[in-house]
Amino acid sequence: MTTTRNTFTASDREITISRVVSAPRELVWEAMTNPKHVANWWGPRGFSTTIETMDFRVGGQWKHVMRGPDGANYPNKSTFKEITKPERIVFSHGGGREEGPGATFVATWTFDIVEPGKTKVTINMVFPTPDARDFVVKEFGAIEGGKQTLTRLDEYLDSMRASDRQVIISRIVDAPRELVWEAITSPQHVVNWWGPRGFSTTIETMDVRIGGELKMTMVGPDGARYPNRYVFTELAQPGRIVMSHSGRREGGPEVTTIKTWTFDTMEDGRTRVTFRLEFSSAAERDSLVKDFGVIEGTHQTLARLDEFLPQLNNQTIKQNTNQTSTTMKSFINPYLNFDGRCDEALEFYKKAIGIKVGMLMRFKDVPDKSNMTPGSEEKVCHADFTFGDSIVMASDGHCTGKGGFQGVNLSLNLPDVATAEKCFNALSQGGQVEMPLGKTFFSPAFGMLKDRFGLMWMVHVPGPQHK
């Protein structure tokens, strides 16, 4: 009787992927063998990894569950077969989609010095048969997934190298991350919690888009002012925000940083908020920690955010009760005109009755400056402030130089352009159109008119970011 044995070449059963990373081999070894690091980069983009056990020794087991962006779980179990520090790791592996197909292979990771500070990382996976190899390539996208995993490792190594230049602080808040995102990206909410205890914050402009600016001034309990400017460089709603930052104490030297916010959903529905602050040098980090209390200040800021979120949740519930999920309710806000004294008025009302200023935009920040009065660049184009549940809007208006209160207008906020056109046309009957209804940089429909009784109206459909 003749026995036929299948024979395969090694290349038919293998996948090999390499990447040169900008890190010394010892640091790469630490990232690969320490479970607290592995969980931060293992798997393709969009995947998260939970490590149940990682017994890093020959014969030890490594159990982990990968979770895909579609919510599917991938349980994995590996056994370490060879460990040669810091050059080589070999492990047998089995895993796959939960209640679905899986795969087995032997993985070898090697770490070769390319030049000082650079390491070539190579993954070699050997499968039982060519068909098994082809299956994981087709079913799980193993080649592209491997490339993305090494890219994530390279990116994470950057953060490990920068650890002496960073402050990283986390807090678990009792709110879904969609609500946390709203609290961090809406200026009317940010002013209620931004900064350490005792600080107040005024926002001049907040344009939440890639390349958009956030300009704000923080005022400390001692009256010291801290102007800050941010530029949004990454927005991944509702999971991650990255901003470049420059700021200073008024009269002091400027400091530049990179600020990263991440929002991770916990199993119980709460959100882990992580704030990462990266300085240009370790010396600058240490100086600001010592002189400005950056670490304690960040803890206090996250605590204030945590305290504000229940208020925001109650507001959301109230709004959902009063309007359908698809239609914004209509409402009227009083609009005050101070003709050049708006800053002075807002400061007075803060001290007198404790108003909270939300959005504040100056004429110099308006894209269309064709109607701007010369010399009014630093004057207030638009601001809003709250007192209790009331929202009031204010402006320096036309800045005629009279320097006095110029009366109250009414801002009619409507849900859509069609409704705005109907109301604008009706109100202007027998009156005078001051600014025809049309699209502006802040609204799909905005116009101004004086009705037959002399009352000034601003008809307004809020932009998407304000609904």
pLDDT tens-place string over residues 371-408: 677 888 888 888 888 877 778 888 888 777 766 666 78
C-alpha to C-alpha distance for 227 and 216, rounded to whole angstroms: 6
pLDDT tens-place string over residues 412-448: 888 888 888 998 998 899 889 989 999 887 788 889 9
Taking all residues of the chain, what is their mean pLDDT, rounded to a whole number?
A: 85
Residues 6+ apart with CB under 8 A from 287: none
pLDDT tens-place string over residues 166-179: 888 888 999 998 99
* Mean pLDDT across 72-85: 95
* Mean pLDDT across 262-278: 88
pLDDT tens-place string over residues 99-129: 888 899 999 999 999 988 899 999 999 999 9
> Within 13 A of 392's CA, how many CA atoms are on the CB side?
17
Task: Return the residue matching tokens 């609500």.
Answer: 179
User: In this model, does residue 466 exceed pLDDT 50?
Assistant: no
C-alpha to C-alpha distance for 68 and 112, rounded to whole angstroms: 31
Burial class (CB in 10 A: 0-12, 13-18, 19+), 436: exposed
User: To the nearest 10°, the Cα dihedral for 159, 165, 171, 176?
Assistant: -50
Residues 6+ apart with CB under 8 A from 267: none
Q: Which residue has the higher pLDDT, 391 or 228?
A: 228
pLDDT tens-place string over residues 5-63: 444 445 789 999 999 998 889 989 999 999 988 998 999 988 899 999 999 999 999 99
Q: Which residue has the higher pLDDT, 83 or 411?
A: 83
CB 307 within 8 A of CB 193: yes
C-alpha to C-alpha distance for 310 and 316, rounded to whole angstroms: 10
Buried-state track 381-409, b at ≥16 Cβ within 10 A, e below 16? bbbbbeeeeebbbbbbbbbeeeeeebeeb
Residue 326: per-residue pLDDT: 44
Taken in order of first residue, the domains within the chain and their CATH numbers are 10-163 (3.30.530.20), 175-322 (3.30.530.20), 331-466 (3.10.180.10)
User: In this model, does residue 211 exceed pLDDT 80?
Assistant: yes
Q: How far is CA 356 from the centre of its chain?
A: 24
CB 225 within 8 A of CB 217: yes
Residue 404: per-residue pLDDT: 61
Question: At residue 343, what is the residue type?
Answer: D
From the list 271, 273, 265, 274, the residue with the least C-alpha distance to 71 is 265
